[in-house]
Amino acid sequence: MRVSVLFLLFVAQMVAANQEIKLSLSSQLDGGHSFYHELLYESLTDLGYKVSISSPSEHIPQKRVVKMVESGALTLTWLLPTPERDERFVVVPVPLTNGMIGKRILLIPPQLQSQFDAVNSLDELQRSGLVAGLGINWFDVAVWKTNQLPVYLADGEWRSLYRLISTDGKVNYFPRGLNEIVSEAELNPHLAIEQRLMLQYDRDFYFYLSPQAKEYQPIIERALRKAKSSGLLDKIITKHWGRTFQVVDPAKRVVIRLTTPNAKSQNN
């Protein structure tokens, strides 16, 4: 029996070796895409596929990315799951960052640290009046509103929020995923990583495929599940974000848990 199983695995690898998967993916000037590109390339290559990845532009704003995936101009993107996205696109139901994206660290003006020092609970954050900046179509908008936290919504390029964060303006803080915070702080030296808090909700990124690329769904799902079981996913996470745990030290932070609307299991 064991010989038969090994033979079938060998045959599957040989078949995959003769197939090429061509992916058209978005890229960003700040390198926010690099982990997802590498995860796809390495996990699919590990199954024996020949993989080629191209990007139609050096930088594509997220709002345009979603439209390009819908039209088939891009093969897929990575998004937090919502029922609307599950219906609109083809989801690959494997969480991608070990929940890092749902562990939110705040980018703030350094002068506001003393105000955040007084926050130790959701109730205190609500009463502080401090306003979060978020992208207009982000899942986080529903999370912040569910938890009765004030938000400012940026339409178009969400990176414009970096310039709007101030002590007394429209935006006082920008919640970023644990996997995003360090690199973005380094790119925006006028801002600081808030020192004490972590706002946490149970969500993770999924890959969402264009309907035109739905045939890749079972292949990518199999590749990602193997990457999780083999340790490849953890290896790539450590490569990209290992330093983050030293800089941010999430284990020592005050955790404020946020309620999520339309709760969906992430136990895949």
What domains lie within the chain, and their CATH numbers? 2-99+203-248 (3.40.190.10), 100-202+253-257 (3.40.190.10)
Pairing between β-strand 20-24 and β-strand 50-54 as defined by DSSP bridges: parallel
What is the per-residue pLDDT for 14? 45
Q: pLDDT digit string (tens) for 71-119?
A: 999 999 999 998 899 999 999 999 999 999 999 999 999 999 999 999 9
Tokens 């808030």 found at: 194
Q: What is the pLDDT of residue 1?
A: 54
Can you give the pLDDT at residue 266?
Answer: 39
Q: How many CB atoms lie within 10 A of CB 45?
A: 14
**DSSP single-letter state for residue 199:** E
Backbone angles phi, psi at 81, to 5 degrees: -75, 140
pLDDT, position 163: 94
Alpha-carbon distance of 47 to 87, in angstroms, equals: 28
Beta bridge partners of 76: 209
CA 208 to each of CA 92, 235, 236: distance values in angstroms, whole numbers, following the listed order: 6, 23, 20
The pLDDT assigned to 2 comes to 54
Question: d(Cα 45, Cα 13) in Å, to the nearest integer?
Answer: 10
How much is the pLDDT for 35? 96
What distance in Å separates the CA atoms of residue 240 and residue 28, rounded to the nearest whole number?
16
Angle 103-248-172 from CA coordinates, rounded to 5°: 70
> What is the distance of C-alpha 139 from the center of its chain?
11
| Rounded (5°) CA angle 95-266-257 | 110
Q: Pairing mode, if any, of strands 132-135 and 151-154?
A: parallel
**CB of 153 within 8 A of CB of 141?**
yes
User: What pTM, to 2 d.p., does this model score?
Assistant: 0.82
CA 117 to chain centroid: 27
Residue segments in the chain with a per-residue pLDDT below the cut of 50: 4-15, 263-268
Q: What is the per-residue pLDDT for 16?
A: 52
